[in-house]
Chain A
Amino acid sequence: MHHREAERQRAFSRRALLLGGLNGAAFAALGVRLYHLQVEQGPAYATLADRNRVDERLLMPERGGLFDRTGRVLARNRPVYRIRVVREQAGDLRPVLARLATLIELSPEHIARVIERAEARRAFVPVTVRDDLTWGEVSAVALSTPELPGVSLDAGTRRDYVAGASMAHIVGYVGPVAEAELTGDPLLSMPEMRIGKNGIERVYDMALRGAAGMARLEVNAFGREIRELARVESTSGRDVRLSVDAELQRVVYERLALERSASAVVLDAQRGDVLALASAPGFDPALFENGIRTADWKALTADTLAPLVNKAVTGQYPPGSTFKMVVAMAALEAGAIDPATRIRCTGRTWLGGHAFHCWRKEGHGSLSVVNALAQSCDCFFYEAARRVGIDRIAAMAGRCGLGAELGVDLPAERPGLVPTIAWKKRRLGQGWHQGETLVAGIGQGYVLATPLQLAVMAARIGTGRAVLPRLVREAAEEAEPLAIDPGILAVVREGMVAVVNGGGGTARRAALDIPDVRMAGKTGTSQVRRITTAQRAANLHKRKDKPWEERHHALFVGYAPALAPRFAVSVVVEHGESGSAAAAPIARELLEAAFRLVPPDPLVADGTPPTRAGSRES
């Protein structure tokens, strides 16, 4: 017994010593591990620790402002307070957000979205719960922060579009940077970064952006700032001053909004400054600021009237009778007609056994080119076009600003179309038929123009200068004289004056109610044979059941005063049926507003610009 107990104790002691040795060895191994980490790899880890501790944080530059020609604010940055939450600090987001919902407006759907977003990110990344808090909400949240773990208030900015929908198609909007827009510029990766997505915001984005600053911060693992080590301030983006007059723009947009779908352009006829350029229906640019919601986006894109499309530069319409000045000038220049030439209208013109009808079935009788313009006789221009040929018409159209992009500072500008024989061969692989020349003679067929081009055409005819449209306000050289004989221009102008002011003019009701100021213009009513951009965008051409869509477009182009044009205008009312009834009265209202609202251009008066606008960088 004693012997066996002694044996057991010896065995125990042996094994206890062995265990002691094992413990010692394990501790020694831990010591070696510590030596390895702290001494051998110590410097490497020290570097890592430093990098861990110092965060180089980009400082957002302030985006440049947008102003109208008189300095009115169009887009500005408004400081806003927002609430952010860090999931890791909040623990469970649900009770925290529920508590928050008792202090600020937060719908259950909103909370669900925030949780979804937060859970998609790393636990220590702050997620915006709401921005644009009212002062009341800010103070309510600030007072309750002890009960709201992980919740913080901070300041950001929001882009405010003061003019709202009336300017939306010009100014455009900003939105969060999409994956595809990342260029490697770290500024673009900042969660608060907004870039121009449309309009001037997009075209002048680089100038408006500015340059990021940088702060070196000591931070903890949550990214919370402990102290700032160094700072390079950001450089604000440049301001951009537009040629547009915000007041006029508002009047124009509001007038067009009375129509189902319309667009209009008002130009400074001498300088080409776009004073107003509107497309209705429009949209609220503020919808896009934080990434547009799916429901809003669907509503906007499903709308058959295509509110997102700027029809003034993107819509391409057959110019109809507004094209007749081009045909007249081409024919006069070629000697195919002269001012005294009279052509007889019987209501139809025959070509190769096919009848081409005048809008007036009973015919206009014998007409000069001036009468033909005033009364918009179709037969006269069938004949004039036949005599001069499509290629010379096309050349004249080009000089008037049709058939090619004008290079205005807006995205999605379309070139319109002025057909030539070569174009048809190249494009359709077919020969030109003379009947097509006749159809082009009244601005139908292949001919397409944008409202902007039509306004430029009116300005060029009215001033005799090769005016180019501009959206950004800056001193510019006076436009070159147009390469068209002044005598020819005078004949066409006389016709255009008669349209509005003559006895048989098609737009007599549109005469301006301003003493001593006469408008010159031209109505147009174009058949809907082609699909407009707006319709294409809305897939409308597949639905032929609605008669409205088959009605003619109503057009008007003009300028005033007739003898020394200050303003040029174009109006297109989609499916408005009649240029004289639907478009001309609008043009008159717009011009009257322009005379009332837009002061004489100080740039023209003394030749020096009031401010230097930001110029385009890309």
Chain B
Amino acid sequence: MGSPLMPGEKLLRLRWLFVLVVATIALAGYAMLYSAAGGHHAPWAWRHALRFAVATVLMLAIALTDIRVFYRLAYPLYAAAVAGLVAVEFLGEIGKGAQRWLDLGFVQLQPSEIMKVALVLALARVFHGKELADLGNPLSLVVPLGLVLVPVVLVLWQPDLGTAVMLLAASGTVFFAAGVRWWKFALLIGGALAALPVLWGQMHDYQRQRVLTFLDPETDPLGAGYHIIQSKIALGSGGLWGKGFMNGSQSQLNFLPEKQTDFVFTMLAEELGLVGALAVLALCLIVVAYGLSFAMHARSQFARLLALGMACTFGLYVMINVAMVTGLIPVVGVPLPLISYGGTAMLTAMVGFGLLLSADIHRDVTIPLFADDVG
């Protein structure tokens, strides 16, 4: 364990280039929201900017916080997130349909978003305490699997298929990075495939409809398939160079649904073309690469898994959102972090970046395997 770092040293270690890349992505989001409003800061762009500013402060605060604090907080945070999920399930009849919010008076929180961070933290801590040899014993996976299944079931209950998929996928990467054997994944995936018919039976009609429509959007071009068809038309018509900032006819003329949230990337691709779309994807990939690099350089397994989990969560957000708007997967309602309008999603992303940065700044910090006295 190296000597404790002074705040000034920490700021020096901070990867400002990473912060710059993140800010650039957020700036693209700001520009698209400005365009979506037809050249107005209201109602989305200025709030987006404000949120980003607040979230940046939060990110930096987290980045400078000792990684061991998060190690200690991992289980309590997880418990709080589960409690929040249960609370919205039974108390939180607030908001609309799938998106359940918990109104804490001063702020509205979406426990399922908190869970995206809390689950990775909890898994990182569990696996931190397990050596590779331990993982050979299937019983060692019971606790982490339980940690995953509880929130996934609660989120599916809400119902929020997008978040459930995110939680499962992010957890999968942590399990994998922790060293769980290949064949166990094969077994799990096989089991999941076998469970598909059961899942189908549990699904809401609108979810089934989404899947069916995804398989053949043309069957319902004005109903459920409308969004994806319009998204492909808008995106495809953007061409190589795009129609120009604020000139996306499909987006501007409202053919594009929810252009400020889930389909913001479509608008970006229409107005800025393949070049703009690839640039944004490249920036996102840089963020993921940074995160994985931070993970590989950390000395504690907890920091490694945390950084990797957060990086992959971000990558998954981007992949699922872009795959969704390009018609590769069904529309599941996952925003594009930093670009889509939406407070909680930005908060989750920035908290994740804060943890990434913290893992990087405190990369030399070691955490005893089973010790509770990490402080």
Q: Which residues of A contact B (CB under 8 A)?
A: 4-5, 7-9, 11-13, 15-17, 19-20, 23-24, 26-27, 30-31, 33-35, 37-39, 41-46, 48-49, 52-53, 122, 218-222, 224, 226
| Cβ B322 vs Cβ A45 within 8 A | no
| Cβ A220 vs Cβ B253 within 8 A | yes
User: Which residues, 67 to 122 on B, are CB-close (under 8 Å) to A?
Assistant: none
Point out the residues of chain A lying under 8 angstroms from B250, CB to CB.
Answer: 49, 52-53
Known: A12-B178, A27-B285, A221-B253. 11 other contacts (CB 8 A): A4-B133, A8-B132, A12-B301, A19-B312, A27-B319, A34-B277, A37-B232, A37-B236, A42-B238, A42-B239, A46-B237
A49 and B273 in contact, given A7-B132, A12-B301, A20-B288 (Cβ under 8 angstroms): no
Point out the residues of chain A lying under 8 angstroms from B133, CB to CB.
Answer: 4
User: Which residues, 223 to 270 on B, are CB-close (under 8 Å) to A?
Assistant: 223, 230, 232-240, 249-250, 253-257, 269
> Which residue on A lies nearest to B275, using beta carbons?
A38
| Cβ B281 vs Cβ A27 within 8 A | yes
Point out the residues of chain B lying under 8 angstroms from A43, CB to CB.
Answer: 239
CA distance A226 to B38 in the complex (A): 13
| Cβ A19 vs Cβ B173 within 8 A | yes
> How many chain B residues have a CB neighbour from A under 8 Å?
53
| Cβ B253 vs Cβ A16 within 8 A | no
- A450 to chain B minimum Cβ distance, whole angstroms, is 52
A46 and B301 in contact, given A16-B295, A23-B288, A30-B323 (Cβ under 8 angstroms): no
Q: Which residues of B contact A (CB under 8 A)?
A: 131-133, 173, 176-179, 222-223, 230, 232-240, 249-250, 253-257, 269, 273-274, 277-278, 281, 284-285, 288-289, 292, 295-296, 299, 301, 304-305, 308, 312, 315, 318-319, 322-323, 326, 328
- A212 to chain B minimum Cβ distance, whole angstroms, is 24
Query: Of B238, B249, B284, which is within 8 A of A27 by CB?
Result: B284
Point out the residues of chain B lying under 8 angstroms from A26, CB to CB.
Answer: 315, 319
> Which residue on A lies nearest to B238, using beta carbons?
A38
CA distance A12 to B131 in the complex (A): 12
Point out the residues of chain B lying under 8 angstroms from A7, CB to CB.
Answer: 132
| Cβ B235 vs Cβ A37 within 8 A | yes
- B125 to chain A minimum Cβ distance, whole angstroms, is 15
| Cβ A30 vs Cβ B322 within 8 A | yes
CA distance A11 to B249 in the complex (A): 50
Point out the residues of chain B lying under 8 angstroms from A23, CB to CB.
Answer: 285, 288-289, 292, 312, 315, 319
CA distance A226 to B238 in the complex (A): 21
Point out the residues of chain A lying under 8 angstroms from B312, CB to CB.
Answer: 19, 23
A16 and B292 in contact, given A34-B278, A39-B274 (Cβ under 8 angstroms): yes
CA distance A17 to B173 in the complex (A): 12
> Which residue on A lies nearest to B304, using beta carbons?
A12
Point out the residues of chain B lying under 8 angstroms from A8, CB to CB.
Answer: 131-132, 179, 301
Query: Of A15, A38, A44, which is within 8 A of B269 by CB?
Result: A38
Point out the residues of chain A lying under 8 angstroms from B176, CB to CB.
Answer: 15, 19
23 A-B residue pairings within 8 Å (CB atoms): A11-B179, A15-B179, A17-B296, A19-B312, A23-B285, A23-B319, A27-B285, A27-B319, A30-B322, A34-B278, A34-B281, A34-B322, A37-B326, A38-B240, A38-B269, A42-B238, A44-B236, A45-B233, A48-B236, A219-B253, A221-B254, A221-B255, A226-B253
| Cβ A19 vs Cβ B233 within 8 A | no
| Cβ B285 vs Cβ A49 within 8 A | no
- A74 to chain B minimum Cβ distance, whole angstroms, is 42
| Cβ B177 vs Cβ A16 within 8 A | yes
- A463 to chain B minimum Cβ distance, whole angstroms, is 65
Point out the residues of chain A lying under 8 angstroms from B179, CB to CB.
Answer: 8, 11-12, 15
10 A-B pairs closest in CB distance: A45-B236, A49-B237, A220-B253, A221-B255, A220-B254, A42-B239, A46-B237, A38-B274, A37-B236, A45-B237
- B310 to chain A minimum Cβ distance, whole angstroms, is 12
CA distance A24 to B159 in the complex (A): 31
CA distance A13 to B223 in the complex (A): 47
> Which residue on A lies nearest to B278, using beta carbons?
A31
Point out the residues of chain A lying under 8 angstroms from B315, CB to CB.
Answer: 23, 26-27
| Cβ A42 vs Cβ B236 within 8 A | yes
Point out the residues of chain B lying under 8 angstroms from A37, CB to CB.
Answer: 232, 235-236, 326
Point out the residues of chain A lying under 8 angstroms from B232, CB to CB.
Answer: 37, 45
| Cβ B177 vs Cβ A15 within 8 A | yes
Point out the residues of chain B lying under 8 angstroms from A31, CB to CB.
Answer: 278, 281
CA distance A218 to B249 in the complex (A): 10
| Cβ B239 vs Cβ A39 within 8 A | yes
| Cβ B235 vs Cβ A38 within 8 A | yes
> Which residue on B lies nearest to A44, using beta carbons?
B236
Query: Of B177, B237, B304, which is within 8 A of A42 by CB?
Result: B237
CA distance A20 to B237 in the complex (A): 31
Point out the residues of chain A lying under 8 angstroms from B284, CB to CB.
Answer: 27
| Cβ A48 vs Cβ B288 within 8 A | no
Query: Of A30, A38, A218, A220, which is within 8 A of B273 by CB?
Result: A38
- A52 to chain B minimum Cβ distance, whole angstroms, is 6
- B287 to chain A minimum Cβ distance, whole angstroms, is 10
A38 and B296 in contact, given A48-B233, A49-B249, A53-B249 (Cβ under 8 angstroms): no
Point out the residues of chain B lying under 8 angstroms from A122, CB to CB.
Answer: 222-223
CA distance A13 to B284 in the complex (A): 21
CA distance A7 to B237 in the complex (A): 51
Point out the residues of chain B lying under 8 angstroms from A12, CB to CB.
Answer: 177-179, 295-296, 301, 304-305, 308
Query: Of B131, B177, B318, B323, which is within 8 A of A19 by CB?
Result: B177
Point out the residues of chain A lying under 8 angstroms from B273, CB to CB.
Answer: 38
- A47 to chain B minimum Cβ distance, whole angstroms, is 8
| Cβ A39 vs Cβ B240 within 8 A | yes
| Cβ A220 vs Cβ B255 within 8 A | yes
> Which residue on B lies nearest to A13, using beta carbons?
B296
CA distance A12 to B315 in the complex (A): 18
Point out the residues of chain A lying under 8 angstroms from B288, CB to CB.
Answer: 20, 23, 27
Point out the residues of chain A lying under 8 angstroms from B289, CB to CB.
Answer: 20, 23-24
CA distance A43 to B240 in the complex (A): 10
| Cβ B274 vs Cβ A46 within 8 A | no
CA distance A290 to B295 in the complex (A): 71
Point out the residues of chain B lying under 8 angstroms from A224, CB to CB.
Answer: 254
| Cβ A221 vs Cβ B230 within 8 A | yes
Point out the residues of chain A lying under 8 angstroms from B131, CB to CB.
Answer: 4, 8
CA distance A49 to B289 in the complex (A): 36
CA distance A37 to B249 in the complex (A): 17
Pick from A4, A19, A37 the residue with the most CB of B within 10 Å. A37
CA distance A4 to B134 in the complex (A): 12
| Cβ B308 vs Cβ A16 within 8 A | yes
> Which residue on A lies nearest to B240, using beta carbons?
A39
CA distance A304 to B270 in the complex (A): 67
Query: Of A11, A39, A49, which is within 8 A of B233 by CB?
Result: A49
Pick from A23, A31, A53 the residue with the most CB of B within 10 Å. A23
CA distance A27 to B233 in the complex (A): 21
> Which residue on A lies nearest to B274, using beta carbons?
A38
- B248 to chain A minimum Cβ distance, whole angstroms, is 9
> Which residue on A lies nearest to B305, using beta carbons?
A12
CA distance A563 to B205 in the complex (A): 85
CA distance A259 to B269 in the complex (A): 77
Point out the residues of chain B lying under 8 angstroms from A11, CB to CB.
Answer: 132, 179
> Which residue on A lies nearest to B256, using beta carbons?
A221
CA distance A19 to B180 in the complex (A): 14
CA distance A35 to B305 in the complex (A): 34
Point out the residues of chain B lying under 8 angstroms from A38, CB to CB.
Answer: 235-236, 238-240, 269, 273-274, 277
> Which residue on A lies nearest to B177, using beta carbons?
A15
CA distance A220 to B301 in the complex (A): 53
CA distance A167 to B265 in the complex (A): 63
Pick from A49, A218, A220, A221 the residue with the most CB of B within 10 Å. A49
Point out the residues of chain A lying under 8 angstroms from B305, CB to CB.
Answer: 12
> Which residue on A lies nearest to B179, using beta carbons?
A11
> Which residue on B lies nearest to A49, using beta carbons?
B237
CA distance A199 to B132 in the complex (A): 93
- B44 to chain A minimum Cβ distance, whole angstroms, is 18
CA distance A248 to B34 in the complex (A): 70
Point out the residues of chain B lying under 8 angstroms from A219, CB to CB.
Answer: 253
